Structure 1
Amino acid sequence: MEKRVLSGVEPERVMYYFEKISRIPRESGHEKQISDYIYQWAVEKGLEAQQDSALNVIIKKPASTGYEASDPVMLQAHMDMVCEKNRDSSHDFSRDPILLKIEGDMISSASGTTLGADNGIGVAYCMAVLEDRNLKHPPLEILLTTEEESTFKGALTASPEMFQARKLINLDQSVEDEILTGSCGGSGVKIKLPFTCEAVPKGREYRTFQLRISGLLGGHSGEDIEKGHGSAINLLVRCLYELNKKQDIHLCSISAGTSRLAISREAEAKFLIPQDQEQEALCIVEQMSTVFRTEYRGICDALEVQCRAISQAEPGAISGDSLDKLVQFLYVFPDGIRNMNGVMPGVVESSINLGILRFQNGYLEVEAELRGAFASTCQHIKNQLNVLCRIFGAEIQFFSEYAAWVYNPESELRQKAMEVFKREFGKQLKPIVIHAGIECGCLLQSMPWMDAVAVGPSCWGFHSPGERMSAASVNRVWGFLLKLLEELK
Structure 2
Amino acid sequence: MNSAIKGLKPERVWSYFQEISKIPRESGNEEGMRQYLLAFAKQHSLKAVTDTVGNVIIRKPASKGFENRPSVALQGHMDMVCVKTKESKHNFLTDPIDLVLSGDYLHAKDTTLGGDNGIAIAIALDILSDDTAEHGPLEGIFTVSEETGLTGAFGIQKEHINSRLMLNLDSEEEGVLYIGCAGGIEVDVQFSVKQETIPAGYLAFSLSSSGMLGGHSGGEIHKQRANAIKILARALVAIPTKMLISAEGGTKRNVIPSSCSFSFAVPEADKSKVEAIVEETAKALSIEYAISDPDITLELTPIVTPAKAANAKQSEDFVRSLYIAPHGVDAMSLTIPGIVETSSNLAIIRFANDSFTVISSHRSSVLSARDDIAHRLGEAFCSCGAKVTYEGAYPSWTPNPASKLTAFCAKAYEEYTNTKPVITAIHAGLECGIINSLVPGMDSVSFGPNMYDVHSVKEKISVSSVERIYGFTRHLLSMIK
TM-score range, shorter chain: over 0.9
Aligned counterparts of 2:165 and 2:344: Cα–Cα separation in 1: 32
8 Å contact from structure 2 (residues 186, 374) kept in 1:
no
Partner of 1:135: 133
Partner of 2:80: 81
Tell me the TM-score normalised to structure 2 length.
0.97
8 Å contact from structure 2 (residues 451, 459) kept in 1:
yes
The Cα of 1:320 is off from its aligned counterpart by 2.4
Aligned counterparts of 2:166 and 2:134: Cα–Cα separation in 1: 17
Aligned Cα root-mean-square deviation (Å): 1.3
Aligned counterparts of 1:7 and 1:364: Cα–Cα separation in 2: 48
The Cα of 1:4 is off from its aligned counterpart by 4.5
Matched residues, number: 481
**1:277 alignment partner, SS class:** helix
The one of 209, 229, 238 aligned to 1:242: 238
Aligned counterparts of 2:243 and 2:307: Cα–Cα separation in 1: 11
**2:383 alignment partner, SS class:** helix
Partner of 1:484: 476
Aligned counterparts of 2:159 and 2:250: Cα–Cα separation in 1: 40
Alignment of structure 1 residues 350-365 onto 2, 5 Å: 350-365=342-357
8 Å contact from structure 2 (residues 187, 378) kept in 1:
no
Tell me the TM-score normalised to structure 1 length.
0.96
8 Å contact from structure 1 (residues 35, 55) kept in 2:
yes
Alignment of structure 1 residues 6-405 onto 2, 5 Å: 6-110=5-109, 112-202=110-200, 204=201, 206-243=202-239, 245=240, 248-310=241-303, 312-405=304-397
**1:473 alignment partner, SS class:** helix
**2:247 alignment partner, SS class:** strand
**1:294 alignment partner, SS class:** helix
Partner of 1:452: 444
8 Å contact from structure 1 (residues 80, 146) kept in 2:
yes
1:265-305 superposed Cα distances (whole Å, 9 cap, x missing partner): 00111112333322221111111110111111133222111
The Cα of 1:471 is off from its aligned counterpart by 0.2
Partner of 2:417: 425
Can you give the 5+ residue segments of structure 2 that lack an aligned partner in the other structure?
none
Amino acid of the residue matched to residue 487 of structure 1? M
Percent identity over the alignment is: 35
The Cα of 1:81 is off from its aligned counterpart by 0.4
1:127-184 superposed Cα distances (whole Å, 9 cap, x missing partner): 1011101111000011000010002111111110112212110000100111111001
**2:54 alignment partner, SS class:** coil
Can you give the 5+ residue segments of structure 1 that lack an aligned partner in the other structure?
none
8 Å contact from structure 1 (residues 444, 450) kept in 2:
yes
The Cα of 1:3 is off from its aligned counterpart by 3.6
**1:463 alignment partner, SS class:** coil
Moved more, 166-175 or 39-48: 39-48
Aligned counterparts of 1:136 and 1:395: Cα–Cα separation in 2: 55
1:231-288 superposed Cα distances (whole Å, 9 cap, x missing partner): 1111010011012x3xx32221111111111001001111123333222211111111
Aligned counterparts of 1:168 and 1:300: Cα–Cα separation in 2: 37
8 Å contact from structure 1 (residues 250, 272) kept in 2:
yes
Amino acid of the residue matched to residue 120 of structure 1? G
The Cα of 1:117 is off from its aligned counterpart by 0.3
The Cα of 1:423 is off from its aligned counterpart by 1.5
Amino acid of the residue matched to residue 225 of structure 2? H
Moved more, 384-393 or 292-301: 384-393
8 Å contact from structure 1 (residues 105, 470) kept in 2:
yes
Aligned counterparts of 1:285 and 1:278: Cα–Cα separation in 2: 11
Q: Tell me: CA distance 1:3–1:378, structure 2 relative to 1, closer, same or farther (3 Å).
A: closer
1:199-226 superposed Cα distances (whole Å, 9 cap, x missing partner): 1113x2x332111111111010111111
Aligned counterparts of 1:334 and 1:308: Cα–Cα separation in 2: 28
**1:392 alignment partner, SS class:** coil
8 Å contact from structure 1 (residues 215, 304) kept in 2:
yes
8 Å contact from structure 2 (residues 325, 376) kept in 1:
no
Amino acid of the residue matched to residue 483 of structure 1? H
Partner of 2:426: 434
Partner of 1:412: 404
Aligned counterparts of 1:299 and 1:337: Cα–Cα separation in 2: 14
Amino acid of the residue matched to residue 143 of structure 1? I
The Cα of 1:123 is off from its aligned counterpart by 0.5
**2:112 alignment partner, SS class:** coil
The Cα of 1:389 is off from its aligned counterpart by 4.2
Aligned counterparts of 2:269 and 2:290: Cα–Cα separation in 1: 33
Aligned counterparts of 2:25 and 2:418: Cα–Cα separation in 1: 38
Aligned counterparts of 1:309 and 1:239: Cα–Cα separation in 2: 16
Runs of 4+ in 1 over 4 A off after TM superposition: none
